[in-house]
Homo-oligomer: A and B are copies of this chain.
Amino acid sequence: MSDRDPFILKLETFAALDEGDRDLLRDRCRRIVAMRAKEEIVQEGADPQVVHLVLSGFACRYKILADGSRQIVAFLLPGDFCDLHVFILDEHDHNIATLTDCRLALLSREDVTALCGRPRVARALWWSTLVDQAILREWLLNIGRRSAEERVAHLLCELLERLRNVGLVSADNSFKLPVTQGELADTLGLTVVHVNRMIRNLRDMDLIAVSGRQIMVPDVEGLKRFCGFRANYLHLERDRSRPDDALAESEAFAMRVD
């Protein structure tokens, strides 16, 4: 693995890791499992004692209603942890599944403990959990108060920024979105048919260009303006006012597990 691993890239968004931090991360993420598309990673009600980290591919969290309708409540992209909460909460309140073929790192309780022994890494894990929460709030706003067209556009803006952050967007602002329109519908609280029409609208307005599962955004600012996208909730700008050195010295946020 190289420094360009998505999960290291992602954690470095917030904490300026040193070589020791990175080595530890690489070392603890050595247990890797490959999964096919549309397989279950974690079932609701389960109490597994392993943390999953997406190395490549797309996965999602979702919930299902009795009538079979599904709500996807998070996209898990390369660099995202699936279930950091597993050591605190008693049981899973949602399912996690792959959307595409995935490579996942498996971390034991000891691995997480070791990672949390490093203040900067611990802080980065906390940060990653809190960003997940911020994304949930934004999605709630998206579904609750934006029109269907804006919802689709907003989700694409978010994916553009999140994927860019882990090096998965090319120079022309295009990225692979290996997700069906049905899955987008389950994410946005819409039906497949309507998502399809909204995507068509965005294409007709030249806000996006779709070829297969590749999305190209010709005018990023234009798309963001259209749906009122502001990236602040992703907290991708590391806070310069809180020097990492001071943090490291004070061993702030050491979170130890067992």
Query: Which A residues form the contact surface with B (CB < 8 A)?
Result: 45, 61, 63, 65-66, 69-71, 73-74, 85, 87-91, 93-94, 123, 126-127, 129-134, 136-141, 143-146, 188-189, 228, 232-233, 235, 237-239, 241-242, 250-258
Contacts and interface: CB of A to CB of B under 8 A. Distances in A.
A123 B189 contact: no
Contacts of A85: 130, 133
Given A141-B73, A256-B251, A235 B90 contact: yes
Contacts of A93: 134, 137-138, 232-233, 235
B146 A143 contact: no
Given A63-B138, A141-B65, A235 B71 contact: no
Within the oligomer, what is the number of copies of this chain? Answer: 2
A222 B94 CA distance: 24
A68 to B, nearest CB: 10
Given A126-B88, A232-B91, A233-B93, A137 B253 contact: no
A143 B258 contact: no
Nearest to A246: B258
A48 to B, nearest CB: 13
A53 B71 CA distance: 31
Contacts of A141: 63, 65, 71, 73
Given A129-B133, A132-B133, 18 more contacts: A65-B141, A73-B140, A87-B253, A88-B253, A89-B131, A90-B238, A91-B235, A93-B137, A94-B134, A94-B233, A129-B130, A136-B136, A140-B140, A252-B256, A253-B255, A254-B254, A254-B256, A255-B255
A127 B232 contact: no
Given A253-B255, A256-B253, A136 B140 contact: yes
Nearest to A70: B145
Q: Ordered nearest first, which 4 A-B pairs have the shortest CB separation?
A: A144-B189, A90-B239, A136-B136, A93-B233
Given A145-B71, A146-B65, A89 B140 contact: no
Contacts of A256: 251-254
A88 B255 CA distance: 13
